[in-house]
């Protein structure tokens, strides 16, 4: 009888433990997403005001292309892009990917292609279209993430902030 009672109580405790879950943050649903290119854009903020304006975007694009173009031939080969993505984008597994930049799929990313893709991503992030990327614009709530716009034309320079 005691063995049955002990077994029943142990089983009840086991069920209660299973039903309660592990607790803590592990059971919290994912509520926001952050893309790897946000790491790069945050590095563009050279004046420390937590926003990235047009001048910082253009300077950042020039700096990142120079960093990526290790052989200084004016174009990025696949290995150069991979090395750059590993350093700047936190490994390159989350994108943007090489073919996001190499739209004509010729296995080479020109400076114009690089600039166009980054400028297009800036426009995608600038939700309030005020010409300044705020850090809050890099975070997307799950279910509300805006897909990248379909860019068939080269993106123009980032607009200057509205006065």
Res. 90 pLDDT band, cuts 50 70 90? confident
Residue 51 placed within a domain: yes
Residue 7 placed within a domain: no
Q: At what angle do helices 54-68 and 111-125 cross, to 10 degrees?
A: 140
pLDDT at residue 129 above 80?
A: yes
Residue 146 placed within a domain: no
Query: How does pLDDT run across 2-15, given as a tens digit for each residue?
Result: 544 544 444 444 44
Q: How many CB atoms lie within 10 A of CB 152?
A: 6
Q: Residue 68 in contact with residue 89, Cβ under 8 Å? A: no
Residue 20 placed within a domain: no
Model pTM? Answer: 0.69
pLDDT at residue 123 above 60?
A: yes
Q: Which CATH number characterizes residue 131's domain?
A: 1.10.238.10
Range of the domain at 134: 36-141
The single-letter DSSP state of residue 133 is: E
Residue matched to tokens 């002990």: 6
Q: How many structural domains does the chain have?
A: 1
No. of helices (H) and no. of strands (E), the chain: 6, 6
> What mean pLDDT value characterizes the chain?
81
Residue 19 placed within a domain: no
């Amino acid at each position: 009888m005691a063995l049955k009672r002990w077994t029943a109580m142990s089983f009840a405790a086991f069920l209660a433990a299973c039903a309660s879950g592990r607790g803590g943050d592990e059971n919290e649903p994912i509520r926001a997403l952050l893309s790897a290119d946000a790491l790069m854009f945050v590095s563009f903020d050279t004046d420390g005001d937590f926003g990235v304006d047009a001048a910082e975007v253009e300077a950042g694009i020039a700096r990142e292309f120079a960093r990526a173009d290790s052989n200084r031939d004016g174009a990025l080969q696949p290995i150069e892009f991979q090395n750059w993505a590993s350093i700047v984008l936190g490994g390159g597994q989350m994108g943007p990917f090489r073919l996001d930049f190499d739209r004509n799929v010729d296995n080479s990313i020109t400076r114009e292609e690089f600039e166009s893709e980054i400028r297009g991503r800036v426009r995608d992030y600038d939700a309030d279209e005020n010409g300044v990327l705020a850090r809050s614009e890099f975070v997307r709530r799950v279910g509300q993430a805006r897909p990248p716009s379909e860019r068939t034309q080269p993106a123009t320079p980032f607009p200057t902030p509205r006065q």
